[in-house]
Amino acid sequence: MDKNSNVYTFIYASVMVILVAAILSLAALNLKPFQNRNIEIEKKQNILASVNVQTTALNAEKVYAEKVIKSFVVNTKGETVDGDAFTVDLKEEHEQPADKQLLPVFECKLDNGIKFIVPMRGTGLWGPIWGYVSFDSDMNTIYGASFDHQGETPGLGAEIATKAFQAQFKGKQIYDAQGKFVSITVAKSNETAPENHKVDAISGGTITSKGLQKMLKVDLGKYNAFFKKQKNLEGNE
Amino acid sequence: MSDKEPLFSKKNLKLLSDPLNSSNPITVQVLGICSALAVTAHLKPAVVMSISVMIVTGFSNVIISLLRNTIPNRIRIIVQLVVIAALVILVDQLLKAFVYDVSKQLSVFVGLIITNCIIMGRLEAFALGNKPWPAFLDGIGNGAGYGAILVIVGFFRELFGAGSIWGFHVIPQSWYIANGGFYSNNGMMILPPMALVTVGVIIWVQRSRNRKLIED
């Protein structure tokens, strides 16, 4: 058959495309359960990392079951509402009006007390960034943080996922002395902010750093009512 | 028939070794510069990227070489693209399912492999006209040649830009100005332009040692 004829070219292209599509969809379908499981395990690892508990992919589920004693969903008024905290998809929630959003909270029991973990999601330079921040029971002091990203530049924006960056958050506070919500400033060297409300940005990763700062401010702000309520509760006990 | 030719004949070994030196894809053929600038801020992603590219160049060369007598000339570029893209997606899916942490590290680079000009350049220049085995060696050789430059650039950029190698700090803390020393990391090194300068220096060194490469 003439290899340069139109018929041959059309048939060749069609067969190739259908074949490749079949192989790829078969692979995607069969690998999906494994991939979803990996994602679930990673989420548990990230939650645990925010209370400075390091796990491997193998023991994450066991440790998670031990340490995370309670999880629930609140709304922006700080009231508990129905829902499964672990399966709440922040991306979908962010599309809802603020007062309808479900805000997950994970309660974690460590040797040095109960920690409250809240998830967050924002945008970096190339795509979404997300993370978990844990608080001491005063609902003000950060106990730990873990951040991750989809495709930030390695060596630059992707540094938000490193321990060195995340360790800066420990001990920082999100409310000032007057009890006003100030969040955390991810500061470049020419920016000033009170020491207990600021961490250092990543050189070369300004847009990711600022995206992280915005994520903290917006998503922690939604928990404002819950934090205040929880704090009063602690004070009365 | 050249079927009797040994697998690692002199000619075949040259396919492996030439790209490391006198026909290096980056410094001599000047292909794949874009990703060489993007992934070399630290050593580790550079190494992982090198290995991935080696795998993809090797296997896409073999597949195209097997198909070479059936591919209609007019759509050969598209056929090459489909083969590369399918291979990269397949690798990405497998990594996500079975070695999730490696896949996380590679993140965007896996997708970037598709756009790497070396792969298509080698398919077009070599695999279309050669048997599968030499094509495989050519692919691996070119992947390695690409990787070698990436690793060298990544090494220097991480050393001068972040003061570390493979994530371990090697510049003594007491040298830093913050600790009363005289040294400070060069922030320029972690930005892409310095990668281009580093590649330029490598080309300079290579050409001054190998006069044959100098054009008139």
DSSP state of B74: G
What's the pLDDT band for B189 if we cut at 50, 70, 90? confident
Residue with tokens 């730990």: A144
Q: Do B78 and A155 touch (CB under 8 A)?
A: no
B139, B61 in Cβ contact below 8 A?
yes
Residue pLDDT, tens place only, B166-182? 878 888 888 888 777 88
Asked if the C-beta of B168 comes within 8 angstroms of chain A's C-beta atoms, the answer is no
Domain boundaries, chain A: 46-236
Task: Classify residue A78 as left (phi > 0), alpha (psi -120 to 50) or beta.
Answer: left
Question: For residue B1, what pLDDT is reported?
Answer: 41
CB B139 within 8 A of CB B127: yes
Q: What percent of chain B has pLDDT over 90?
A: 27
> Dmax of chain A from CA atoms?
88
Cβ contact, residue pair B74, A9, below 8 Å: yes
Residues A192-232: pLDDT tens digits? 888 889 899 998 889 999 999 999 999 999 999 899 888 88
Distance from CA of B12 to the nearest CA of A (A): 30
**Which helix H or strand E contains A143, and what residues bound it?**
strand A142-149
Among B79, B84, B105, B107, the strongest candidate for a mutation testing the A interface, having the largest count of A CBs within 10 A, is B107
Q: Which residue has the higher pLDDT, A99 or A226?
A: A226
Q: Spell out the domain ranges in chain B.
A: 26-208
Complete edge-to-edge strand list for the sheet that includes strand A142-149: A80-81, A68-74, A103-110, A113-123, A128-135, A142-149
Residue B211's pLDDT is 81
Of B93, B98, B104, the CB nearest to A28: B93
Mean pLDDT throughout A93-114?
88
- Distance separating alpha carbons of residues B80 and B72, to the nearest angstrom: 11
Q: Which of A160-164, B109-113, B193-197 has the lowest mean pLDDT?
A: B109-113
Instruction: Calculate mean pLDDT across residues B59-88.
Output: 91
The mean pLDDT of A182-190, rounded to a whole number, is 88
Rounded CA separation A43/A4 (Å): 53
Q: How many CB atoms lie within 10 A of CB A82?
A: 7
Q: Is the confidence at residue A160, as pLDDT, over 50?
A: yes
Q: Report the run of H or E that residue B39 belongs to, with start and end.
A: none
Instruction: Give the pLDDT score at A236.
Output: 55
d(CA B173, CA A20): 53
Tokens encoding A17: 């495309």
- CA A158: distance to chain centroid? 14
ipTM of model over 0.90: no
With a cut of 80, say whether residue A155 has pLDDT above it: no
> Could you tell me if residue A227 is left (phi over 0), alpha (psi between -120 and 50 degrees) or otherwise beta?
alpha
Look up the pTM and report it.
Answer: 0.70
Burial zone of A172 (CB within 10 Å; 0-12 exposed, 13-18 middle, 19+ buried): buried
pLDDT at residue number B106: 66
Shortest alpha-carbon distance between residue A9 and chain B (Å): 6
- Chain B residues with CB under 8 Å of A42 CB are 100, 104
- Asked if residue A152 lies in contact with residue A158, where contact means CB atoms within 8 angstroms, the answer is yes
What value does the mean pLDDT take over residues B47-73?
Answer: 90
For A52-79, how does the pLDDT look when each residue is reduced to its tens digit (9 = 90+)? 888 887 888 888 988 888 889 998 888 8
Across the interface, of B74, B100, B187, the residue whose CB is closest to A4 is B74
